[in-house]
Each structure stands twice: as C-alpha cells, then as structure tokens.
Amino acid sequence: MRIGNDRLASTSVLPDLYERAGFELLWTRPGAAEGMLAAVRGADAHGLDPNDYHRPEIERLLAAPPGTEQQVDLDLLLTDALVRLAYHLVFGKVDPERLDPDWNGARELGNVDPVDALRRVIEAQDVAAAVAALAPGHPVYARFQAALARYRELAAHGAFPAVPAGPKLAPGDAGPRVAALRRRLAAEGDLAPELAEGDAFDAPLEQAVARAQARFGLEPDGVVGPATLAALNVPVGARVDQIRLNLERARWVLHAVQGKLVLVDVAGFRLLFFDGDLAWTTRVVVGKPYRKTPIFRSEIRYLVLNPTWTVPPTILRQDVLPAVRRDRSYLAKKKLRVIDASGRVVDPRTVDWATSASGRFPYQLRQDPGPDNALGRIKFMFPNTHSVYLHDTPARDLFGKAERAASSGCIRVEDPLELAVRLLDDPEQWSRAELERAVASNATRTLNLREPVAVILMYWTLGVDAEGVVSFKPDLYARDATVLAALDGDFSFRRRPVAGRTAL
C-alpha cells in the first residue's frame, strides 16, 4: 500500500494496532502526531535517516488543509513510521546475519507484545521521549550519540585542515606543513586552540600528536609518519559515518548487556567485563587479518588451569607441519609431542613427515602444560563451532603494542587470572592467591563456573571514554564499508519471526 510517494512497510503489526483500536484513528490526541514527527526527526541523533520514516510525507500532510482522507493517510504513515523506527532502535536497521555468516546474536522480543508496546508509545504524554527510550539504555550508546553530535558540529564548521603530503614530521621541524599540522590537531581538540598558530614542531605539539595517535589506535611516538598522516587526513564526514555505523552495531548487542558479561572488542583489542556496569577491562590480542577472530555470542562455562594445547587443524596444516618438514628439531623446540588415535605418544622419528603434505596426517600434536605452553596457564571455554576461546599466553610483549592482531583467531588475555577471579566469583575458595597456587602446581584442572557467563565477540571501530574522548580504531578486518552501505541502503524489515510473527 502506498500513500503519496511512500510505501507502508508493516503488514502485520500495523493492521493489528488498528484492529485492537476498533479501526479508529490512533493519533488523535493533541500533540501526538507532532510528537511522532519530532521522533522521526530525532532519528538523526541515532545515526539513522529520518526519511526512512516518512518524514517528508508526514510534514506535508501535517501542513495540508484538514480532511478525512488526509487524516487517514497521516495516521497510517505515523503508525508505519513508529513500527519502522521502533524496530530499528530495538534491533538495528542492518541485519548482521546477511553481512557475516558467523553472527549468532539475533534477539527476539520474548514475551513482549509489540502491539501493546507500541500502543503505550502512542498514548505517552511525550511521544518523542517514549520513542527515544526504545534505544539501548547503555552508557556506551549515549557516549556514541554524544560523539555523533560533536562531530556533526565539527563538520558544520567546515572540513578539517589538511596536512600536506611529505616526509615525516618530528620534533625540531618547522615550516608550512608543521603549521598545517598545528591547525589540524587544534580542530579536533588534541592541541589547545591558543597553540594552533605557529610553524615549529615543539614539545606541546609532540604531545598533541601522541594524543591523536593514541586515539587513532597507532603507536603514540609523537612523530607524523605515513599512518598518522593518513589518519589525520580522514575527512570529518567520514568520521561522522564511522560513528553512525558503530551506533548501528551498538543496537545489535547493547540491549542484551545485562548482568555479567564478557565483551571482547576485537577491533579495539580490549576485553570488557560487565557486572551490571563496566567493572573491569584488560588488553587482548586477536586474530590476524587473514585469520580473523569470528564475531559471535556464546557462554563461558568453565576454565582450565595448566591446559595442554592440541594444535588446531588450520595451524597444523598451514604452520606447524611445514615447519617440521623444514626443521625436524621444531617439535623439540616447541615441546610438541606426537599423539596417535589411541592417545599413545609416538616417536617423531617413525613418522613419515613427507606424506603429511597430502592432508592425510593421522596424528595430533600436543603441547604439555607449562610456562611455554601456547595457551599459557589458563584458558576459558565457551561452546562454538570455530574452536575459539580466551586464554593466557607466554608472549607478553605483544600487549605493549598499539595494534594487537597477532593470533590465529583465539583471544589472548593480558590478565587472565583477574578474569578468572571475576568469572568464578568465589573469593573464599578461588581468590587470586589461590589461583596462583593452583597454577604453580602445574596440574591440569577444570573449574566450572557457578553459572555460565555470556560472552560477546564484537567489532567496534569507535571508542568513547567516560570523559567523552573519542577514539577511531583502524578497520582491522575491513568491515565498516559494508555496514555503512547497508545502513544507507533502502529500508527493509528483517525477515525472521519476532515474538511468534513471520512479519512486521
């Protein structure tokens, strides 16, 4: 059904709303229609397009001379706009399952009746506020929205001053490119406005460069090399879009952030532990771009102290077997044992390593517990089809780097003992000191959690701290463009059952 230039998208909830209302108009209360129009215009604050929610047609009909046909058309458009916008605020506009086959974080409405919920919004004293309340109530979402407002304001003042291409800029340099650098850093707030003029690369400018580099996920060395120059010259409009697409990702998951949760921010190389609010965070190492850490949801059910490590098939095929064929002492160096199908240890000298290249390798390679074990001293297990888990690591130097994409897909945790203490939540039996003693015994031991704890592996290229400092992270796995294109694409509902429905 079309009204003017617009199509009504809701084929189920909209008819049900009118049926339950006795087929009366829904938006007759004074101020209700204007409140819904304000909510539609306010979609912009969520990074959504108000035109997806019939803004031009609603504005036209509100301004038109009153008449029965216009009243009916306006009422239908307002209702369809509410269904559309409510759905996007609760679930997101983009369907992540279409973009990523690994995604399994789809949510349902559960026991919520969408018709009753939307009727309460229509009858609210402040319709615009009632619609806005459908968005995630998590502080992270509010910070993302504040960042969007700030960068739109920056964009309204014009483009960021460009820093011309050229050789590295470092302390002691001077000239027009340094002058441009000062103006650029002042425009985004990394350099105080009163220091924007001048052409000398002094100590305050070095500190400002380091601040910007930290916000861009780069090594904060205070020197403007090619990577820093490229980050500085990203247009402000592109940064606005980066915030918008990450608000969309936030809508996918933040409604589900309740109680205890482990959230791994893959692009940000951080693990965040929520116990209601954010309680603790630590650095992590994630998968290399050609061995991406998958994005999905599961539950941590147990952890293993002093684990053995069985080389996974991909690493075995692509890394370990070629290394053994090149150097037969590789197994001894890595303390790997050859295990047959019966669990018996096999003398590696009896193995025909040449035939292993054909893919018919009949053994497993296993590393015993110890300080050099690839999993370190502890691993955290959650069911998934990717053989991915959280674990300790002996390679501690990686945590000091700004970019920490160095694993084969699993997530290495900088402080795994603290994570274990928080997950076990049993300070009398499993304090940090007790865990350290258990680890020192070198005995493999499985510890079950009292209750499973949700874990979400998520991908955000945006960060905003409690002080409002905005960080733009490198798009490690080149995912942003696809999300943005879908966000800016045509409106559509996701075609999956919602609270027993097959359509909205």
Q: Walk along the chain (504 residues) in steps of 10 and give the mean pLDDT of each run.
A: 89 94 96 97 98 95 89 96 96 92 78 92 97 93 97 95 97 97 97 96 98 96 97 98 97 85 95 89 95 94 95 85 88 90 89 72 89 93 93 94 93 97 95 96 95 94 93 96 95 58 48
CA atoms within 13 A on the CB side of 108: 11
Question: Which long-range contacts does 131-135 make (Cβ < 8 Å, 24+ apart)?
Answer: 131/36, 131/39, 131/42, 131/82, 131/85, 131/86, 131/89, 132/39, 132/42, 132/89, 134/85, 134/86, 134/89, 134/90, 135/46, 135/89, 135/251
Question: Which long-range contacts does 211-214 make (Cβ < 8 Å, 24+ apart)?
Answer: 212/185, 212/188, 213/402, 214/402, 214/471
Q: Yes or no: say if 311 and 451 are a contact pair by the CB < 8 Å rule.
A: no
**CATH architecture observed for domain 161-234:** Orthogonal Bundle (1.10)
**Which SS3 state, helix, strand or coil, does residue 8 take?**
coil
How much is the pTM? 0.90
How far does the chain reach from its first CA to its final CA, in angstroms?
A: 14
Which of 196, 189, 187, 191 lies closest to 161 in space, CA to CA?
187
Cα–Cα distance measured from residue 213 to residue 223, given in angstroms and rounded to the nearest whole number? 9
**CATH code that applies to domain 240-327+370-472:** 2.40.440.10
Lookup: tokens for 385: 């089809």
Which of 101, 457, 475, 96 lies closest to 293 in space, CA to CA?
457
Question: Which long-range contacts does 425-431 make (Cβ < 8 Å, 24+ apart)?
Answer: 425/449, 425/450, 426/450
Task: Give the pLDDT of residue 357.
Answer: 59
Per-residue CA distances from 389 to 9, 279, 312, 487 (Å): 41, 21, 12, 31
Task: Give the pLDDT of residue 21.
Answer: 95
Task: Give the pLDDT of residue 66.
Answer: 82
Q: Where are the alpha helices (DSSP H) in 364-456?
A: 416-424, 432-440
Residues near 462 by beta carbon (within 8 Å), at least 6 away in sequence: 144, 147, 242, 243, 246, 470, 471, 472, 473
Does residue 391 have an active-site annotation? yes
Cα–Cα distance measured from residue 311 to residue 292, given in angstroms and rounded to the nearest whole number? 17
Cα–Cα distance measured from residue 274 to residue 269, given in angstroms and rounded to the nearest whole number? 16
Does residue 46 have an active-site annotation? no
Task: Print burial letters for 86-120: b (CB count within 10 Å at least 16), e (below 16).
Answer: bbbbbbbbbbbeeebebbebeeeeeeeebbebbbe
Domain ranges for the chain, please list them. Answer: 2-135, 161-234, 240-327+370-472
Residues constituting the chain: 504
Which of 6, 41, 61 lies closest to 131 in space, CA to CA?
41
Lookup: tokens for 232: 């500085």
Selecting among 46, 54, 255, 391, the annotated active-site residue is: 391
Cα–Cα distance measured from residue 127 to residue 86, given in angstroms and rounded to the nearest whole number? 12
Q: Yes or no: say if 247 and 456 are a contact pair by the CB < 8 Å rule.
A: no
Lookup: tokens for 365: 């390679």
Which of 128, 118, 156, 137 lies closest to 42 in space, CA to CA?
128
Lookup: tokens for 72: 């009916």
